[in-house]
Amino acid sequence: MAEAAVKKSPGRGRFITFEGGEGSGKSTQIKTLAERLGAAKLRAIVTREPGGSPGAEIIRHLVLSGMGKLLGPDAETLLFAAARDDHVRTVIEPALNQGIWVLCDRFSDSTRVYQGRLGKVAPEFLNAMERVTIGDLKPDLTIILDVPVEVGMQRAAARRGTRAPDRFEAEDIRFHQDLRDAYRQIAAAEPERCVLIDANADAGTVAANVWAALRDRLFAAGSNVVSA
């Protein structure tokens, strides 16, 4: 019954990606949204990039260890692309085709921002990688969680505890500021797909705003899913 309340092609799942800098609260918000969709009787899976499939998780380990950085920005981009190719083919597409909603922690915007804007990888190279790995697959909705850099970095440090920072957490404050600017630019350039949400608020407020974005963009008017 919930399927009928979804805008357009009710048989196919919806693809929702979450993006943002370090410590923006993506994991918490994805978990909350998955619970809420479950309560609304919509089947949903939570996945992430890099990773989300056995092969891609091996690549995740490689890039976050800093190994990819040693190879240079283009080769590091190829590693992210290889991970995405496997993840899309074995997890995301099959789920969407079965009517399952896919909530993905990071996707191709991360490549645009981290490798493109910050790693200075050429747009033509990124376009070619996208054609190969995702083809026509585009998120139905991208939630960009926006948080001041100092706040995000403090949150990430608190979450990490005694663990050493990973490849990207270890970058300096300037890098993280550029990251934030790049995400804000994507949100401004693609308002049909992206919603920028202030993630400096408490988790409950952010979750309410995430749900409002789904209500406005993905559910049909008058749907009873909305109040679930």
H/E stretch holding 198:
strand 194-198
Q: Least distance in Å: CB of 35 to ligand TMP?
A: 20
Cβ count near 53 (within 10 Å): 20
Among residues 171, 120, 165, which one has the least CA distance to residue 149? Answer: 171
Any residues with CB less than 8 A from the CB of 68 and at least 6 apart, and which? 62, 75, 76, 79, 80, 167
Amino acid at 118: L
Whether the bond between 191 and the residue before it is cis, its omega within 30 degrees of 0, is no
- Closest to ligand TMP by CB, 115 or 209: 115
Binding mask 157-186 for ligand TMP (x = CB under 6 A): -----------x------------------
Binding map of ligand TMP across residues 76-115, x = CB under 6 A, - = no contact: ----x------------------------xx---xx--xx
Q: Is 52 annotated as a binding residue?
A: no
Q: Please state the closest distance from residue 33 (CB atom) to ligand TMP, in A.
A: 16
Strand order in the sheet with 194-198: 44-48, 101-105, 15-20, 141-146, 194-198
| Nearest to ligand TMP of 6, 60 (CB atom) | 60
Least spacing, CB of residue 221 vs ligand TMP, in Å: 34
Nearer to ligand TMP, 106 or 180 (CB): 106
Point out which residues bind ligand TMP (CB under 6 A): 48-50, 80, 105-106, 110-111, 114-115, 168
